Amino acid sequence: MANYSKVNVTEDGRTELHDKLSLTGAEVSVNYLLAGASVPFTHSHKHNEEIYVVLEGKGKAIIDGEEVELKAGDWIRISPAGNRRFFAAEDSGIRFACIQVRENSLEGYTMDDAVAQD
């Protein structure tokens, strides 16, 4: 198991994966908000952009005062300076993953960074 880590994320409200998977280049969290609930604060970042994917349910994000509707299958990228807060819909919970990486740090894409073994 030297070249991989594995974890199962269950029904927790928030699971941060940096320690559980020994992440070294990104922070990933899996989040769940009950119907009518919200993240309790608005925040931005100093250096890290965030990429969100809605895994199930629906809700909204308020980003720099703009309301953005969200549903399962949606992806959204928010720059570090963007002020953000997430809400579940009144009639539906929302499960989403957040991938946090340093803005402008990507040096190569999948095929540029891949090493073929065959």
DSSP codes joined into one string, 11-75: S-SEEEHHHHTT-SS-EEEEEEE-TT-B-SS-B--SSEEEEEEEEEEEEEEEETTEEEEEETT-E
Band of pLDDT at residue 38, cut at 50, 70 and 90:
very high
Q: For residue 71, what are the domain limits?
A: 26-103
Residue 30 domain flag: yes
Residue 18 domain flag: no
> What CA–CA distance (Å, rounded) separates 95 from 88?
9
Q: How many domains does the chain have?
A: 1
**C-alpha distances in Å from residue 66, one per residue of 73, 81, 89, 91:** 20, 14, 16, 21
Residue 116 domain flag: no
Residue 44 domain flag: yes
Q: Give percent above pLDDT 90 in the chain.
A: 71
pLDDT digits (tens, 9 = 90+) for 75-92: 999 999 999 999 999 999
**C-alpha distances in Å from residue 95, one per residue of 43, 56, 76:** 19, 5, 14
Q: What is the pTM of this model?
A: 0.88
pLDDT digits (tens, 9 = 90+) for 41-57: 999 999 999 999 999 99
Q: For residue 87, give the CATH number of its domain.
A: 2.60.120.10
